[in-house]
Amino acid sequence: MNIRQLTIPMLPLGLVLLPGETTKLHIYEERYKQLINECMNNHASFGIPYMEKGAITGYGCEVKIKRILKTYDHGEMDILIEGSNLFKLIEYSKVLTPKLYGAAMVEYINIDQKIQLNNLQDAIVNYFGSIQNQFMDYDTVAGLTVYNIASSLQLTHPEKFKLISASNQQLHLLNQIKFINHIINTEQQIKDKFIDN
């Protein structure tokens, strides 16, 4: 596996975007207006180190700016971003002088790891069949990555952070799917009890 290291500009937030996921951001601080303008001018991406309880964690996502949705009088803007990569922080600088914003050296996480655990393949086929009512065969699952599946689970930002920072992401994803199945089956059993009475 080729692990690349790179220094990229940073905008710390309490969110994680998996590859292909999009969200809108409202940019109002001077340092981040500078960051976004420079990224736009250079067609560059930036990193979002995940913040938890006001502190930067050791992991995050790299995003690219899809487009600027709206610009305000004082240079504030609404932008649409898309997750392109995931990383582990190696070294973080809060301010990259003479710039106003910070940057970090990151090590990229392999986002192309295929689903290899047999139990995980079983759990995915079962999850899509019983919960999503979608037929998915093992050949299809074998062609997907851990993050393709994770994106379809509608995980919260803390759950995504736990996944990307897990030492064994396949095992973590398996436990996550088992947990979701358990919650949904329990809800179904409660509904069935009400119907029976």
Instruction: Tell me the pLDDT tens digit for each residue of 142-194.
Output: 899 999 999 989 899 999 999 999 999 999 999 999 888 888 878 877 877 77
Question: For position 14, what pLDDT does the model report?
Answer: 96
Q: Which residues of the chain have pLDDT under 50?
A: 1
Question: For position 107, what pLDDT does the model report?
Answer: 94
Question: For position 1, what pLDDT does the model report?
Answer: 45
Alpha helices in 16-100 (DSSP H): 30-42
Question: For position 160, what pLDDT does the model report?
Answer: 96
Q: Which domain holds residue 46?
A: 5-108
Answer yes or no: pTM beyond 0.95: no
113 domain-assigned: no
Question: For position 186, what pLDDT does the model report?
Answer: 84
Q: Into how many domains does the chain fold? A: 2
77 bridge partner residues: 27, 71
Question: For position 197, what pLDDT does the model report?
Answer: 54
Q: Which of 90, 108, 126 is the last residue of a domain?
A: 108
CA 160 to CA 151: how far, in whole Å?
A: 9
Indicate whether 146 and 94 sit together in one domain.
no
Indicate whether 148 and 78 sit together in one domain.
no
Phi, psi of 7 (to 5 degrees): -100, 125
Phi, psi of 82 (to 5 degrees): -130, 135
Q: Which of 55, 85, 108 is the last residue of a domain?
A: 108
Residues 6+ apart with CB under 8 A from 87: 47, 59, 60, 61, 62, 106, 107, 108, 109
Q: Which of 75, 108, 141 is the last residue of a domain?
A: 108
Indicate whether 37 and 74 sit together in one domain.
yes
